[in-house]
Structure 1
Amino acid sequence: MDLPGVPSSVLEELQGAARLLGIPRLALVGGVVRDQLLHQRYGRAWSGVPDLDWVVEGDAAPLVEELNRQLGSERISGVQEHGAFGTVAFQLDGIPLDLATARQEHYPAPAENPVVQAGTLQADLARRDFTINAMALDLVANELIDLHHGQEDLASGQLRFLHVGSVQDDPTRVIRAARYAARLGFQLAEESSKQIRSTIQEWPWDWRPGDAATVAPPALSTRLRMELERLLEREPWPQALDLLEQWQALPLLDSQLQNDPWRTQRLHWAQRLGLPLMSALLLGAADPVAVAQRLQIPGKQQQWLQQCGELRDWLVETPPPLEATPSIWSTAIEQQGWPPEVVALAVTLKPKQWKPLLRWWGRWRRIQAPQTARDLIAAGWQQGPAIGEELRRQRSAAQDRSR
């Protein structure tokens, strides 16, 4: 077994300890197996191994204890045991390793968290999302285990769900499909695309849009948000979001997002202005605040979305004229008390008043009066409201000169 960047001695020590203890399976699993095959067989660039995830048939803790007994603290460090199944994280020769007991799972209800219990490597692979992620490199037998034809899908550039009920059980897999397809340049298998469309049309989940946000199951709320965050932060998000639209999958968030012609433009503006892309994405929803509450995005961002709605109403009802001076626009905006992020979010929507909003956000709000209260007092002004009025007059004049 060859893993670029991982010393062969690390693999040999793991292999020797596992065989000594009679462990039937010690297998490398997850994306590193997929990426290694893509690198070795198809010449894909190797991006490195941030960590190595292993599945152990049996208890992982004795294996780490044996390694520690053989190698000592000079080579084994940072041992942390956690989880109900004895998952152990540690470093061997400075290489991060995570050992988890093989497990199997079932879903008590669609989109709920699965119930997990100890199982075999075969069962552990069967609970994964895609065929290309359900392969393992068994260090004990020194063989590649591919029970779901992942190698065939790697060769053809196909992304395929493992089961006919994959989306029903865990709709976050749809977001992961978009992430992997955009990153790897893979196509979603036709039956998997049909599974997405048919499952969303049937909507087999107990929670429905319009129900209380607090009762949405995890895979339609917090876990869905986490996958979206990964998509927006780590992946080529324009392509990934286009794929979700192509697969008719965006109703998982909100039906209005499915046909959102300004989505890419809005998110590019948000990126340019340093705003959270999640907030900009949700601005296209019928009720952005309701979706934000269901996904449990940070409270401050929920407040921004609420205030952005108020700002949009204000732009329709009582904004200054487009040709108004910078000081008039600044005074009008600042009287409302909106934070700069809310004004910037409104800019991403490109209302007809977007230019004065952007200028306030980028320049006008930063302009101060050339004098301070202390300067005025030193010049003979008496303390009182007149000083504040003079400072406001000076600031307005400075703003208008900046046009």
Structure 2
Amino acid sequence: MDWLATIAMAHGLHLSVVGGAVRDRLLGKSTPDKDLDLVVEGDGSWSWPAIQLLELIENHELPRGFQLKQSQSFEAFGTAQLHLQTPEGPLLCDLSSARSERYAFPGAHPEVKPADLLNDLKRRDFSINAIAERLPLSSNPLLDPFAGEADLKAGQLKLLHPLSLEDDPSRLLRGVRYGTRLGLELAAETTAQVDSTLAAWPWTNDAPALASRSRMELELLLSESCWRSAVELLESWRGLELIQRGWKALPPRSSAWLQRLGQWGHAIDPNWSAEELRLVGLLWLVPHQYNLVAIAKRLQLAHRQQQLLSRGLELQRWLEGLSPQNTDAWKASDWTFALEERGAKTEPLMVLMPLGPSRHLQFRRPLLRWLMCWRLIESPLSAKELMNQGLSAGPKLGSRLKELRGQAINQHA
């Protein structure tokens, strides 16, 4: 990205690479960059030099093989994004003005103001993320004021300052991703900070920023290729307690359940991704489900994710009220119509939810049979064919269609 540094320097700006690209180089990884975190320093003429650089790039001719696909700025935080097409493929550049931060209360949006690169590194979460390389790389040494390179070599994840987690507890969730991906253990002082932070959790102040950051971190964690190991580390590092106070452990076979939910759910309804279903599934595993919908709202899950949890709970309560003795004589059609009367026809994934670990094992077979077979069976005769036989449109026609469909379902049971 020397051409980008050249544009910046021609206008009194200075660029530095931070974050994952620096870590990858220190770890000897040579895969092409798909995203870059860049810090922009200015000469003081602009309050937010990243916004200035964005405008320069938007009005500058890019090198051969590079194309600006999309750009946007975030004035409140002095940041910007560039979506570039490069000879090596798509590249996302996050531009951040060098800045300092303070938090009015735990979990709040940070209050930011312009600063230099060193102070920008001080505001970061972990030492391994507080390493920078000034551009162009050939003429500048590594800037590593918090010994992040040494922590990488030692295989430990260390928070930068004593209030890191108090300022933003979602950093623990982010740390789980780094720990899983890079094989890191928590440093002793970081473990102590986790303990003290969780002892005071939850706080009384309204912290919507914390909720959205936590949800985004969980989404990223469950999108990792090594997400199963990340879920295990989330439990080990007490990250579950940020979702529900006192949540210490996952039920047995939780990873297998999340895997099934993602794979089966996407196969049943391709409009759902495996990743977003895994997030729904993780919340489904909270030990006290009476609070489940409130947790989903606090974390600002998408509306349809909240709806899936809510409908799954309604179905589960109905199943809990059933007696296995009373349902022993139920035919496949009885199960089909009972489930579909409760909304399963329009949202089949709700039937997956009560199939989580250790739940409703006595009804597992009919629920699975409905999902995999019975729901797909239709009446052998259509409404038009029945009307051609003399039935008129109305309730009798609907009843006959249902009767014929029930017979076809029972024949396949």
Asked if 1:298 is matched to 2:302, the reply is yes
Cα separation, partners in 2 of 1:341 and 1:152, compared to 1, 3 Å: same
How many Å separate the matches in 2 of 1:305 and 1:90? 35
Give 1:135 deviation, angstroms.
0.4
Choose the corresponding residue for 1:89, options 82, 85, 88. 82
In the alignment, is residue 251 of structure 1 matched against residue 249 of structure 2? no
Q: Please name the residue that 1:183 is paired with.
A: 181
**What is the RMSD of the two structures over their aligned residues, measured on CA atoms?**
2.7
Deviation at 1:165, TM superposition (A): 1.2
Which secondary structure state, in structure 2, belongs to the residue aligned with residue 371 of structure 1?
coil
Displacement of 1:18? 4.9
Corresponding residue to 2:163 among 165, 190, 203 = 165
Contact 1:89 1:96 (8 Å CA) reproduced: yes
Counterpart in 2 of 1:326?
Answer: 332
Q: Are 2:25 and 1:36 aligned?
A: yes
1:284 aligned partner: 285
Q: Which of 193, 196, 202 is matched with 1:195 structurally?
A: 193
- TM-superposed CA distance for 1:34, in Å, is 0.6
Write the distance in 2 (CA, Å) between the matches of 1:90 and 1:370.
52
Displacement of 1:235 after TM fit?
4.5
- 1:301–1:374: structure 2 CA closer, same or farther, 3 Å change rule? same
What CA deviation, in whole Å up to 9, does each residue of 1:304-342 have, x standing for no partner?
A: 222222211211213662452211111221222343121
**Alpha-carbon distance change, 61 to 203 in structure 1, aligned in 2, over 3 angstroms:** closer
The 8 Å contact of residues 248 and 258 in structure 1, kept in 2 or not, is answered as: yes
Q: 1:119 aligns with which of 90, 96, 115?
A: 115
CA contact (8 A) 2:106 2:207 kept: no
Q: Distance in 1 between matches of 2:130 and 2:100?
A: 13
Partner of 2:230: 240
* 2:409 aligned residue: 399
The answer to whether the Cα contact below 8 Å between 1:196 and 1:249 also exists between their aligned partners in 2 is: no
Counterparts of 2:322 and 2:202, CA distance in 1: 45
Spell out, residue by residue over 1:342-375, the C-alpha distance to the aligned partner (whole angstroms, 9 max, x if none). 1121223541212211111221011011111221
Which segments of 5 or more consecutive residues in structure 2 lack a partner in the other structure?
43-48, 267-276
Please tell me the residue identity of whatever aligns with 1:325. K
Q: Secondary structure at the match of 2:327?
A: coil
For residues 171-228 of structure 1, give each alpha carbon's deviation from its aligned partner in whole angstroms, at most 9, with x where no partner exists. Answer: 1100001111111222222221221122101237334xxxxxxx44421x11111111
TM-score, normalisation: structure 1: 0.85
Identical pairs, percent: 36
Post-superposition CA distance 1:70-99 (Å, at most 9, x none): x73565753846233374637596665444
Between the aligned partners of 2:52 and 2:241, the Cα distance in structure 1 is 47
Q: Any unmatched runs of 5+ in structure 1?
A: 1-9, 208-214
Contact 2:108–2:207, Cα closer than 8 Å, also in 1: no
Correspondence for 2:135: 139
- Name the count of aligned residue pairs: 378
| CA shift in 2, pair 1:99/1:386, >3 Å | closer
Are 1:61 and 1:88, in contact at CA under 8 Å, matched by a contact in 2? no
- Which residue identity is paired with 2:280? S
TM-score (norm 2): 0.83
Contact 1:200 1:249 in 2 (8 A): no
